[in-house]
A and B are shown apart, each in its own frame.
Chain A
Amino acid sequence: MRYLPKSPADREEMLAEIGVASIDDLFSSIPAEYQLKRDLAIPRQQAESEIMDRFRVFAENNAAGYASFLGAGVYRHYRPVIIDSLVQRGEFLTSYTPYQPEIAQGTLQAMFEFQTMICELTGMEIANASMYDGSTGAAEAVMMAVRVTRRDGAVVARTVHPEYREVLATYAQHQEIPVTEVGYAANGRVDLAALDAAITDNTACVLIQSPNFFGTIEDVTAIAEIAHKKGALLIVSIAEAVSLGIVKPPVEADIVSMEAQSLGVAVGYGGPYCGVIACKEKFLRQMPGRLIGETKDMNGKRGFVLTLSTREQHIRREKATSNICTNQALVALMTTIFLTVYGKQGMKELAEQNLAKAHYAQTALGAGAKVLFEGAPRFHEFVLELPKSAEAVNAALLGEKIIGGLPLQKWYPELGPNASLWCATELTTKAQIDTATNYLIR
């Protein structure tokens, strides 16, 4: 086996040094009746070239060569080549959690830079070194708000990604956190009157998403005022981090839970991505996940360490703020490099291009369909009510090598079968938009 650095003689000599006759002696603590006496029924050992061929076939059986208007929580943006050059350096790729800071300063400093950039992007005071993803991050943020306020209810906008809400429901049920959902107004934003009515003295937090699942930018200021008036915290979930290049950060929020996938992480059929929780400094002790802090070594030299680990499971066990251990460090590094490449000016220009493409797409496709939820600003997604069912339109568009928008009926039955969610990013071309438009107006 090519990954195993031992000769048959090595094995024999080592067994002799240990003082056993055969390798089976080392497994003698496993009762004989449970020892596997046969080969596992899995594919035979394969050459590297065979593995490459096999995965090429898998890859060809996907959607290579199709243009796509799918977004809905996962966004295709150009990934600068240096991201993969750098994250594939063995020193980043094959290191562990930086528990020995003297030989992990590379990861630690990069994560400190990540935390800083996330603070700048989101307008929050502190950020952790990553969560699994946006959906579990949002659920963890709600549990964090429950600990902070010592209240136990959550009010959640229906314009939060439906799968985020499903994950929250799974987490909340055994924490005995009642979740109340609030609908949306005609402009696709949270229904403020319904929100106000839903918040009680026992509401720990309000969870919204902005830009929301329909692509509409919420009125964070107004929502924060309503939540804070009743002593509830405001959690803003951000699924499209590129929007922050041009959309005002939710500074009125108490906690921001962000999915950073769109910052240089491949869509990769759903993961791995990079969640992150950022918040006001006063909630630090209730923050879940790893935190990197600056300090000095014995000689006064600047260095970085994992810090405040008394919040975490390996110290606090059942009293920890969360059971999270492994995070998404390497993916967080990808986003750090992406943010460094685009930087202060590039993030703005990138976001502007997305805005321009989506504006063009919405106007063009709007000639053959009705654009829903007008009257509020949006970033790069929009909901179309098509002349026939979204499934039928999508099936026909596949013939044009186009994957259309996401049908919404499954989660929003009230919108009917013809509604679908479309997204355009800087990678969507005018030609692709025009092809889809030509089909719709035909």
Chain B
Amino acid sequence: MADEKFAGTPKKATTHVNQNEDLIFEKSSPGKKAYRLAELDVPAVDAASLLGSAARTDLGVMPELSEIEIIRHFTRLSTWNYAIDLGMYPLGSCTMKYNPRINEAVARLEGIAEAHPYQPESLSQGCLGIMKLLQDCLIEITGMDAITLQPAAGAHGEFTGILLVRAYHQSKGNARRKILIPDSAHGTNPATAAVCGYEVANLKSNAQGMVDIAELERMVDEDTAALMLTNPSTIGVFESEIHKIADILHAKGALLYMDGANMNALVGKTRPGDFGVDVMHLNLHKTFSTPHGGGGPGSGPVACKKILEPFLPTPVVVTRADGALGLEYNRPQSVGRVRMFYGNFGMFVRALAYILANGPDGLRQTTEDAVLNANYIRAKLEDTFELPYTTRTLHEVVFSDRLQAKNGVKTGDMGKRLIDYGFHAYTVSFPMIVPGAMMIEPTESESREELDLLIDALKQIAREAEENPELVQTAPHTTRVQRLDETTAARKPVLRWKAPAASEPLEADSAAKEW
């Protein structure tokens, strides 16, 4: 009976189309098109005869779809992402703040988006003006003397900054051998030192999670090129003896590099240039609100003191005698170029729009709100989770999972469970000086109501950890896919799609029925 009634029903269960979008290649059909080229206004050419043996005959499995199918494909994919626009993204160290839309609008103005990096200086005054104004603002915000906008991201800024350090020491006759890095540092710091040809000497933190001054004094010698210090540190603590740290380094001719990943805790309240920093990078995609975009692009300007200015990458923006702006390439002591052209210019536009929208009062209030939010979370949750360092913290708070781990619930589990409550996870297991770290950075973009929701969720999760640990250990339960097998992904890497052989049967999608 049923067979007749539902005659023609496909064998494979129809799945929730939005939740089971195939790969773009699997949706492709020969002959479909999403483009039409303009009519050619010059004679067509015979590519085969012009290119000879260099001519290509086939483009493999490149997709063929219509425009509506492409829109649906990527729109459906987008709905599988969590985002700041959907809710709080308390990833410590990543500074997931609101990305204002005016920034996107001005970056797409034709005269800006269509500017070619080699167009004449006389026709680039707008772009150069944007760079100059942003530079001036960032120099004032950091209290430094000079800046380059060229580095493409934070780690690239670190690379550039350490090259400046190296060039400085080299100009004094000895590049020196090692860079000191606290054990609380981001992984990019030691990786950067290595790329710049330096040895890494690890500096242990003291009981407050700060630089151990005695240990620093013992370690700094004439072979030390610099200390790479994140301030406030990755546990959110301001190094209150910062000037002593600078003095110890300077006494031995070493320099103080500041990783500016946490600059959003300081803007408008204090300036690294005033407290002894010689060189630092900024992350425009953290402190200055340029969007993270699923992993990039970033931008990592490097600001420095006068002593390092001669070594900045080429070109630098200069004001010519007639008042016009220009790009100066003749810099004999420069470390060279770290990227083609002038850096991730589109990010400069967005960061400048953000600075203008805030002004001095807005930037200060932004910093204060970020610190207020983090301290509010800390105050509300310090009875629920262990707080390994009780030192005063600024823009983020790092708890540990020690109390919950007794029931077998780890920081990673609780982070995943937070997803079920509608939040992104906090940063899990970093910094490494805190075993089982739960690193929470709310940023200024959260209202009190949102903070209370996060606090309630984390309290609820702590209770679940006691009463029903398995619920937390197997989270998330509400997402399109559940925990993914990362071990097999690494052991048997499948890094691209391949067309199934014609004879090969398509694998049954056992999970699809749930949808």
Contact = CB atoms under 8 A, between A and B. Distances in A.
Nearest to A267: B116
B70 A63 contact: no
Given A94-B84, A97-B292, A318 B486 contact: no
Interface string A105-122: 111011111011101110
Nearest to B412: A100
Contact of A23 (B86, B152, B353, B368): B368
A68 B460 CA distance: 61
* Chain A contact patch, size range: 35 or more
A167 B340 contact: yes
Interface in A65-103: 66, 68, 70, 72-74, 76, 78, 80, 82, 84-98, 100-103
A96 B91 contact: yes
Given A40-B140, A174-B196, A45 B361 contact: yes
A132 interface: yes
A318 B365 CA distance: 37
A142 B32 CA distance: 40
Interface string A245-259: 111110000000000
B127 interface: yes
A95 B195 CA distance: 29
Nearest to B483: A298
Contacts of A340: 24, 34, 63, 65, 70, 73
A64 B110 CA distance: 7
B258 to A, nearest CB: 13
A372 interface: no
A136 to B, nearest CB: 6
Interface in B346-399: 346-347, 349, 353, 355-366, 368-369, 371-373, 375-376, 378-380, 391-392, 394
B295 A329 contact: yes
B338 A268 contact: no
A66 B123 contact: yes
Interface stretch (A145-153, A226-234, A301-309): A301-309
B294 A46 contact: no
A171 B71 CA distance: 40
Contacts of B274: 34, 36
A341 B34 contact: yes
B298 interface: yes
B262 interface: no
B303 to A, nearest CB: 14
Interface in B154-194: 154-156, 158-159, 163, 166, 186-188, 190-194
B488 interface: yes
A431 B358 CA distance: 46
A113 B37 contact: no
Interface in A312-340: 312-320, 322-331, 333, 337, 339-340
A316 B484 CA distance: 23
Given A94-B291, A301-B511, A320-B191, A295 B40 contact: no
A247 B57 CA distance: 8
Interface in A265-322: 266-272, 284, 290-305, 307-308, 310, 312-320, 322
Given A51-B356, A317-B190, A329-B293, A136 B338 contact: yes
Contact of B81 (A31, A59, A92, A319): A92
Interface string B44-59: 1101001111111001
Given A113-B25, A113-B497, A292-B495, A93 B111 contact: no
A172 B43 CA distance: 46
B184 to A, nearest CB: 12
Interface string B103-123: 011111111111111111011
A284 B494 CA distance: 12
Contacts of A97: 292, 294-295
A17 B365 contact: no
A168 to B, nearest CB: 9
Contacts of B497: 112-113, 116, 294
B366 A4 contact: yes
A343 to B, nearest CB: 5
A116 B26 CA distance: 12
Contacts of B243: 31, 34
A85 B24 CA distance: 18
Contacts of A192: none
Contacts of A345: 33, 64
Interface in A8-32: 10-11, 13-15, 17-20, 23, 26-31
A17 B382 CA distance: 13
Interface string A38-64: 011111111010111011111111111
B247 interface: no
A426 interface: yes
Nearest to A28: B392
A133 B67 CA distance: 28
B408 interface: no
B1 to A, nearest CB: 33
A159 to B, nearest CB: 15
Contact of A244 (B56, B133, B240, B361): B56
A370 interface: no
Interface in B61-114: 61-65, 67, 70-71, 73-75, 77-86, 89, 91, 94, 96, 98-100, 102, 104-114
Contacts of B380: 17
A330 B70 contact: no
B390 to A, nearest CB: 12
A255 B120 CA distance: 35
Contacts of B34: 80, 340-343, 346
Contacts of B489: 293-295, 305, 307
Contact of A58 (B104, B129, B335): B129
Nearest to A379: B51
Given A26-B394, A58-B126, A59-B110, A3 B100 contact: yes
B341 A269 contact: yes
Given A176-B197, A270-B343, A120 B71 contact: no
A175 B197 CA distance: 6
Contacts of B510: 299-300
Contacts of B356: 43, 45-46, 50-51, 54
A244 B34 CA distance: 19
Contact of B357 (A3, A27, A106, A176): A3
A197 interface: no
A435 to B, nearest CB: 13
B63 A269 contact: no
B453 interface: no
A72 B115 CA distance: 14
Interface in B473-515: 474, 476, 479-486, 488-490, 493-497, 509-512, 514
A312 B155 CA distance: 12
Nearest to A89: B78
A134 interface: yes
A40 B124 contact: no
A322 B195 contact: yes
A269 B488 contact: no
B307 interface: no
A121 B430 CA distance: 38
B423 to A, nearest CB: 10
Contacts of A398: 120, 122-123
A51 B118 contact: no
B45 A46 contact: no
A144 interface: no
Given A36-B271, A58-B111, A61-B125, A31 B242 contact: yes
B227 interface: no
B37 A349 contact: yes
B214 interface: no
A29 B238 contact: yes
B344 interface: yes
The 5 closest A-B pairs by CB, nearest first: A330-B293, A270-B341, A45-B359, A90-B85, A59-B111
11 contacts: A2-B357, A4-B369, A29-B238, A40-B364, A42-B136, A42-B360, A93-B99, A95-B84, A174-B195, A270-B345, A339-B62
